[in-house]
Amino acid sequence: MSVSNSVTTAKKIGLVAGWGRFPIVVAKALKQQGFQVYCIGVRGHADPVLAEICDDFRISGLAKTGAQARYFRRRGCNNATMAGKIFKTILFEKFALIRHLPDLGFMRCFFSVYVTRNSDRRDDTMLGLITNYFDKRGIKFLPATDYAPELLVSNGTLTKYGPSPNEIKDIQFGWKMAREMGRFDIGQSVVVKDRVVMAVEAIEGTDECIKRAGQLCAGGGFTVVKVAKPNQDMRFDVPTIGVGTIETIHNAGGKILAIEAEKTIVLDQEQTVATANRLGILSMRYRVSACG
């Protein structure tokens, strides 16, 4: 397993872990490569099993940015990475700031968002502010896929069978729609049927978008297209699928999943493909040039 020179020079590394299996996969990859892993698990998101994998594991509130930076600095972590989903909806709960008791570091980091309100709250904006805050304190965030490049899929068909010519038209149509949504940093996924957009992912996430499409398309047979943003920052918010994605599509009545080659993470790929084959979900991976 090869990693870039900037990665291999570090003996210690910080990991910010959100929800899902992705942080676990990354933590195991880092340990296999001989890193000392110091992990901050986001409260209500991170899997406690990370405590068994990492050299140290601490649960932290989402709004404890200053404490998180100090944690990494005190442990000599000049590099860090982030993995896993953060449920952004909690930022819009009633009295969210009061409930999460933000520290001074959080308020400094997000001064332009919550005080002057000069910045928006799109994913790239929020995550960019976080990485800049850490960078100024000597902690550089690097893409998790630098440590586990095998998670990024290549071009081709994942499952036994591919889509029909008509279904390919839906993929191409959905691809263009999804790329436009990504350009505005709205979401990564679009669900289409017969060149009609059934649902677009926003703050709710891919699974909820798929479920909503299932409610709106009672006849099923729809196509889910999930792509990276045109200028995807590979340090965060990289499109990710797994067994759960396949099961959600099947339960909602979908048939096709199209993802972007070399920009999409497939967790537990062997199991994910086997599940898709068993449930009759056709899965394709394309380069951008193939769909426009």
Direct distance between the N- and C-terminal alpha carbons of the chain, in angstroms, rounded to an integer? 32
Full set of structural domains in the chain with CATH: 5-146 (3.40.50.20), 152-291 (3.40.140.80)
What is the 3-class SS of 36-86, one letter each residue?
EEEEEEECCCCCCCHHHHCCEEEEECCCCHHHHHHHHHHCCCCEEEEECEC
How large is the average pLDDT for residues 234-239? 93
Say what the pLDDT of residue 287 is.
57
- How far apart CA 67 and CA 72 sit, in angstroms, is 9
Q: Give the chain's mean pLDDT.
A: 91
Residues in the chain, total: 292
Angle formed at CA 174 by CA 169 and CA 177, multiple of 5 degrees:
135
Residue 136: count other Cβ atoms within 10 Å of its Cβ: 11
- How far apart CA 89 and CA 207 sit, in angstroms, is 14
How large is the average pLDDT for residues 85-107? 84
**Confidence class of residue 5 from pLDDT cuts 50, 70 and 90?**
very low
How large is the average pLDDT for residues 264-291? 82
- How far apart CA 40 and CA 52 sit, in angstroms, is 13
